[in-house]
Amino acid sequence: MNNKSQTLDMINGPLIKNMFIFAIPLMLSSLMQMLFNSADTIIVGKFAGQEALAAVGATGSIIFFLTATFMGMSMGANVVIARMIGRGEMDKIRSAVHTSYALAIAGGTIMIIMGLLFSPFMLRLVETPANIIDRSLLYMRIFFSGSIFNMIYNFGSAVLRSQGDTKRPTMFLALSGVINVLLNLFFVVVLKISVAGVAIATVISQFVACALVTKSLMLETGPTHLDLKDIRMDPQMAKDIISIGLPAGLQGMMFSLSNVVIQSGVNSFGSTVVAGNSAAANIENYVYIGTGAFTSACMTFTGQNAGAGRLDNIRRIMFTTLWLTVLSGMAIGFIGWYKGEFFLSLFTNSHEVIEAGMYRLQLVCLFLFLNGLLDVFVASMRGMGYSSFPTVMTLAGICGLRLIYLWTYFPAHKTLSALYFCFPLSWTVTSILQAGLWIILFRKYQKSLDKEIQAG
């Protein structure tokens, strides 16, 4: 398969048009992923009961915490390969692809070990209610058994996205998602194995996505061609990928650490609130359909233009992505808030759970665009090759502020409104900090580019 028809001209082509061509498949991918995840939750809530819903919901923040570092590595592969494309260094891309796969396999293996070892400890740490903790542990152990499949899909998709191909990862996710839903129905409704069935279905669907993205790269005829026998780490290439991906992964891990602490606060209100919080969080994830797609476009487009030395395009990409992200986040967030009770009723028949879910939606959903706003600045800086600085800023603004808030203000008030207020507060503060950092680093990048031009 020749990949030329799948690529985009991110340097000289029409910016907005190409950004939409890049982002729309990602939006569809996110939409399908959200629908499939929601289907999981709906099936569990409707056919396995409130406690099973709470058991699965209680694992989300912990799973993200244990996987975030390794998942963030795929961002490094995306940026490194995109910059090579921008510089025209086609001879190095093959090494980057095979190094990416080696990192995926290594990272997936470590995730399996970590997940199996630390899941019991983490569930006890966040004070998971006693009536659901055994089922939560079972779900996590099965989920982590498929970590390698998940890692390979993410790295393989990152390779395809680096050249502008977002269509094939979307198709692969669609097929695996359909399989996931069908298996959920079979395991939960027919075989009556509820939480374990949902986890098994997830692992099988991740294997399908992994196999599809790997096969597509094996069929490539260009520099992104994958040959399984050549999968090995090039030390310098691995260092370049890790230097971008590790800070992104650590940011995700620390970001999720604050969410684990928040989950601990939610757990203290009992399984009904845990179930409502889980359903509401599923609805909120739909807001990221637009914001996540545009920020991913920002990082990849910036990476290619940074490689080509197109400073003017980097600025245009950032501001264009900024308003697209804010508009999409506000629009979808309003729909989620306005029709919250209807959406929550899809997950559960319990009036108490719906009421608990609405409490979160009313306090969080309308402000989710702020999270997308700060992600645009971060994506732009990572595309320019600055990954550590925005990570430190996020750790201070999101993690640090949330943890201080949750350990000081929340215990003194101990209400759900006090707990959920930490979301919009931390997003607002961090957006301001990231905007200031972007200005500083953009000027720094401009000076370094001027020096390269003078030296050349």
Q: Give, for 211, the enclosing helix (H) or strand (E).
A: helix 194-218
Q: Give, for 153, the enclosing helix (H) or strand (E).
A: helix 147-162
338 within some domain: yes
| pLDDT tens, residue order, the chain (456 aa) | 344 545 677 788 788 888 888 888 878 877 776 676 667 677 877 777 777 877 887 787 778 777 777 777 888 888 888 888 887 888 889 999 999 999 999 999 998 998 889 888 888 887 788 888 888 899 899 989 999 999 999 899 989 988 888 888 888 988 888 898 899 889 988 888 888 888 899 899 999 999 999 999 999 888 889 999 999 999 999 998 988 888 877 777 777 777 777 878 888 888 888 888 888 887 887 777 778 888 988 988 998 888 888 888 899 999 999 999 989 888 888 888 888 889 888 878 888 889 888 988 888 888 888 988 899 999 999 888 888 888 888 888 888 898 899 889 988 888 888 888 988 999 999 999 999 999 999 999 888 877 776 665
Number of domains in the chain: 1
R_g of the chain computed on alpha carbons: 21
| Dist. CA 300–CA 383, nearest whole Å | 6
| Dist. CA 298–CA 285, nearest whole Å | 20
35 within some domain: yes
* Residue owning tokens 């691995």: 238
Count CB atoms within 10 A of the CB of residue 110.
Answer: 15
| Dist. CA 199–CA 280, nearest whole Å | 21
Q: What is the pTM of this model?
A: 0.72
- Asked if residues 275 and 354 have their Cβ atoms less than 8 Å apart, the reply is no
Token couple for 145: 């058994």
Residue 145 is classified by DSSP as: T
| Cα angle 272-274-275, degrees, rounded to a multiple of 5 | 65
Q: Which of 321, 327, 323, 330 is nearest to 294 (CA)?
A: 321
455 within some domain: no
- Asked if residues 362 and 344 have their Cβ atoms less than 8 Å apart, the reply is no
- Asked if residues 271 and 50 have their Cβ atoms less than 8 Å apart, the reply is yes
456 within some domain: no
| Cα angle 37-56-213, degrees, rounded to a multiple of 5 | 40
Domain of 73, in residue numbers: 3-448
| Dist. CA 158–CA 382, nearest whole Å | 14
- pLDDT for the residue 229: 92
| Dist. CA 45–CA 189, nearest whole Å | 11
453 within some domain: no
